[in-house]
Amino acid sequence: MSSEPGTNQRRADVQHVMSLRGPSRRWIGGVVTTLCIVASACTGGNTESTPDNPSSTVASPTTAAPRTTAAPRTTAPDTVTAPTTIGPEATPTFVDSNGFNDHTVPRMRSIEDFNALAHGNDTGQATVKFVVPRLLDPAGDSTFDGSSVHWADGNFYRLHDEWYWFRLLNGQSVPGFAESPVNGPRFTTIDEVYSWAKRQPPGTLPLDLTWIQQDGDNRLYSPRFYEESVGAPTRTYGVGSLIRFPDRDPSAPPHWLIQLEYTDLVSSEEVAAYFDRLRPTLPAEIGDRLRWVIRSPQQEATARAMIAGKLEYHDRVVHFSDLVAPGTVSVYGQGITAGRLLYVGDGGRQLSESTGGDILITERVPDWLPPASALITSDPQTPLAHVSLLARNRGIPNASLSGIHLNPGLRQAAVSRGYAVVVAQQAPDGASTLRILLITPEQFNNWRQKDAPPPTSVDPVSSDIPAVMDLTSIARKNPSARAIDRLRPILGGKSAGFLSLLATPGLTPPPTPVAISVGPYVEHLKPLRPTIEAAITDPAFFSSPRARWLVLEGTDDFSTMFPNQADHAFAESFIADQATTPLGKVVAAGGLRQMIEDRTVNGRTLQEITTTLSRTYADYALDAGLRFRSSSSVEDIEGFNGAGLYTSYTGYLNAKQLGPEFQDKTIERALRRAWASYWSFEAFQERSRENIDHLSGAMGLTVHARFDDELEQNNGVATFTFLRGGSGSDATLEINVQAGSVDVTNPDPTRNDLPEVLRLVRLNDELTVQRVSGSTIAPGGQVVTDAQAKELFAQTAAVADLWRTRENAALASTRQMQTLVLDFEFKTMAQGWPRLREGRPPYPPRLVIRQVRSLEPGIRSLPEEAKSLPIPLDILRRSSRINAVTCGGAARFEVLTDPFRSPDMGYTKDPFVRQVTSPGPDGPCTVRTLYESSDKYLESLASQPNALVIIDSSK
């Protein structure tokens, strides 16, 4: 897809929020700022947000939908047919008296209908969106049946407003709206609407349709629809989702939940209206079990009022935590850490108050993840939800424990901001455990001193490095591991990884990838560097995260990230106090990111880049996009991969010739935006946590053909691991793969589209395929065959073997490693990608590995003496304690490994021993500890018999 996980997704959610809440705009220091409750609040957080831009190469609009001026029916015919099969069930369809099928149905007659509308999924969680016209006054509009509900076909629509403008653009009125239908072309798919809309001159789209940004692409959007459904005091519409949620008892029937938008300021009267309108349109096995699930503090207040007054449907209120057995624990990211307890929720703190040293405890899954040392929620999380991915990227423990927010001991400790240790662990059999125990401030400070990573920076590069470098030519020289390390500061982490892909025989990575070195970025920032240096070293900049946001990102999105009145007061005061200072001038310019985006690229440099790209991709179709993928020089450095922190963009060589919708997608625009993402708030926070010199890093780019959504057969991520012990070829491959272009690396947090999960194990050259779970959108849950999974194993194993061979070639025999963990991203593309000019023979269908990076831990925290020991590097990387032992003149080193560093090296209890001198006569032994990890220190605290444990899920 078009982006990488991390800041870009949150920013896209926020942009959608900003466009929805127009009435609540206010001025802060002369800059318009929008007030919303939380990130993605106005889109409902986990219910809806703007999607990735649909394919930019779609069929032309047709006239398949008959145009008519006949008046709409006053009642909808009670006929639902099922002419189409998607997955195991037939998708129900509804045709009105005008002969129009808007891809919604007025009722679902069976659970099979639900399954079909929810992508054919018949197990686990699933969702169907709904729209309810005239929620409170169904009789107030005589043009339609007041009991009607529009249940959306999830195979056709992704967002609620698409139904609204799809009807109007096809000449059909919309129930409850006075908006006149549009006279113009007719459309059969949403993609056709996009294709047509992109060809219209700026400012000429009908209705109130507008383009908003999502991950560097555009999303067609109607502000009025959301104002009338979520933002209006007297709503025209009710919108939400029907969720099937499995019971804690697998043999029991599932729960059926009404989930509203996070910012739906719903009243008790409106809650009753949702039940009254939805239940008659559902089969009894759903309607009789229908309940309303709470999502926000405002909804909680309404629910309490309903219960206190015993109002209608007060007995149908439920929380997600009610649906999971108390004490049920799930670990999404294991680890051990320490911090100060911070409870977010009723009687607690705000999410924006969390800092990097806080153990964040929440009842509900947050819509964004602030700095934190651990995340523990009461509600269960989706493993691939946005916050789960961010927690995994940061390497912090992440778990859910049903009912944790009600634990009196924890709540009391959080009130006093007590210090604690969190241990989240997942056993080989899948069992999860969570322990939280209190420690003293002195113990916490001792840990902090041990845990603080040493400062690190990237070596400076020569000023005369080429702007563009051919990765294929470099890879043909088969550079050594050390040579690649020397190239990484020049090319960036992603391009350096491509050198291994291109050098591995039999692989088909994206054709002819090129690297834009860090040189053009350094040149672009040179005039701004004094301003940047002054800004990020100013004491006021470090005074709070709010100050850093304003300086880096400007006022845009500030109130979404920091929603309290105190935050707004801080922003007003900061802007006023800094008005005449360098910091104030940066904020007034829109923040550092905007300053970088607004600066014109040097003409000669841009010409050199454009000329090289035009020559390299001369055979590509004129409207074939190029993907400019962030390749920072501080990605994939020692012990820090930096995954998901930066943004990638699409640019077109012929943008100015392709029409108005491409004018913002030039090569120069893609360069500037990708470069600017180096200075995002989240990236800055993560680099600071790793003690990385920000100014030493730079942004390179990896360029190749963009992946056209309609040609993606599947996409996924895979982690390849050479196992310690046994045969040197023993290995595992964990695969998460999803059908089509539904993203796995950056999943849409509004949908429950879970990927297929497979685990391939090779022991003694015998390869087995284990299917862990199925995709929720693929027929039968299967995305790839065993043969396709084995092909992926073969290709990733070949890359890993080359990678390990290169690294070992630079090591002494006593330091050579067996274990290696690599992370891959891949896609299976249909014939014709990349799209070429007419007459050129098309590329065949094939598996494309698009990225590889190491997930190996670093050793920069080890003392210099320990780094050079004759110990295998993979063991050193996972060491928790290193002792030098001398007995009677004989010397040896003993190394214990960290159980939280995957894979298990086998030396958690009994150490790895390297004898360095032959044993002599028996004599007294002395033990000198060369290194003890911060994790080991916390383990010792957690194992003390008098430890004050307040949470222990194993008991």
Question: Residue 451: which pLDDT band, with cuts at 50, 70 and 90?
Answer: confident
Query: Quick one: which of 756, 827, 751, 748 has its CA closest to 119?
Result: 751
CA atoms lying within 13 Å on the CB side of residue 14: 22
Say if residue 557's pLDDT is above 50: yes
Question: Residue 854: which pLDDT band, with cuts at 50, 70 and 90?
Answer: very high
Q: Which residue has better confidence, 124 or 480? A: 480
Q: What is the pLDDT of residue 170?
A: 95
R_g of the chain computed on alpha carbons: 29
What pLDDT sits at residue 751?
Answer: 59
Which pLDDT band, with edges at 50, 70 and 90, does 175 fall under? confident
Is residue 215 over pLDDT 60? Answer: no
**More confident position, 9 or 228:** 228
8 Å CB contact between 933 and 450: yes
pLDDT at 55: 29
Q: How many CA atoms lie within 13 A of 493 on its CB side?
A: 25
Q: Does 38 or 555 have the greater pLDDT score?
A: 555
Most confident of the following: 157-171, 343-357, 741-755? 157-171
Res. 263 pLDDT band, cuts 50 70 90: low
3 state SS of 704: strand
Predicted local distance difference test score (pLDDT) of residue 293 = 87
Mean pLDDT, residues 269-294: 93
DSSP H or E run through 361: strand 358-362
Q: Which residue has the higher pLDDT, 858 or 802?
A: 802
- Element (H or E) spanning 301, and its range? helix 297-308
7 pLDDT above the threshold of 70: no
Angle between the 786-809 and 493-503 helix axes, to the nearest 10 degrees?
Answer: 110
Tell me: pLDDT of 29 over 80: no
Of 291 and 904, the structure prediction assigns the larger pLDDT to: 291
418 vs 600, higher pLDDT: 600
Which phi and psi (to 5°) does residue 27 adopt?
A: -95, 135
Residue 752 binned pLDDT confidence (cut-offs 50, 70, 90): low
Q: What does 601-661 look like in DSSP terms, one character per residue?
A: PPHHHHHHHHHHHHHHTTTB-TT--EEEEEEETTSSBTTB--TTSS--EEEBTTGGGS-GG
pLDDT at 65 over 60: no
Q: Place 895 in a pLDDT band, splitting at 50, 70 and 90.
A: very high
pLDDT band per the 50, 70, 90 thresholds, residue 66? very low
Pairwise pLDDT comparison (38 vs 149), residue with the higher score: 149
Give the tens place of pLDDT for each residue, 537-552.
999 998 888 899 999 9
Contact 222, 177 (CB under 8 A): no
**pLDDT tens digits, residue range 313-327?**
999 998 766 776 677
Whether 778 contacts 744, CB under 8 Å? no
Q: Specify whether the CB–CB gap between 286 and 108 falls below 8 A.
A: yes
Checking if the pLDDT of 793 tops 90, the result is yes
pLDDT for 216 equals: 39
Question: How many C-beta neighbours within 10 Å does residue 224 have?
Answer: 18
Average pLDDT, the chain: 83
For position 76, what pLDDT does the model report?
33
Dmax (CA) for the chain in angstroms is: 105
pLDDT exceeds 50 at position 294:
yes
Query: What's the pLDDT at 389?
Result: 63
Whether 67 shows a pLDDT value over 90: the answer reads no
Say what the pTM is: 0.69
Residue 72's pLDDT band (cuts 50, 70, 90):
very low
Q: What's the pLDDT at 713?
A: 95
For residues 389-409, average pLDDT = 80
More confident residue, 412 or 510: 510
Query: Is the predicted pLDDT of residue 106 greater than 50, yes or no?
Result: yes
Confidence band (pLDDT; 50, 70, 90) for 462?
A: confident
Asked if residue 378 has pLDDT above 60, the reply is yes
Q: Please tell me which residue, 38 or 795, carries the higher pLDDT value.
A: 795
749 pLDDT exceeds 60?
Answer: no
User: 424-449: per-residue pLDDT in tens?
Assistant: 988 766 678 999 998 888 899 899 88
Please report the pLDDT score of residue 703 as a whole number.
Answer: 98
pLDDT, residue 379, reads: 82
Could you tell me the pLDDT band of residue 780, with boundaries at 50, 70 and 90? confident
Residue 34 has pLDDT above 70, yes or no: no
Q: Which of 6-15, 348-357, 702-711 has the lowest mean pLDDT?
A: 6-15
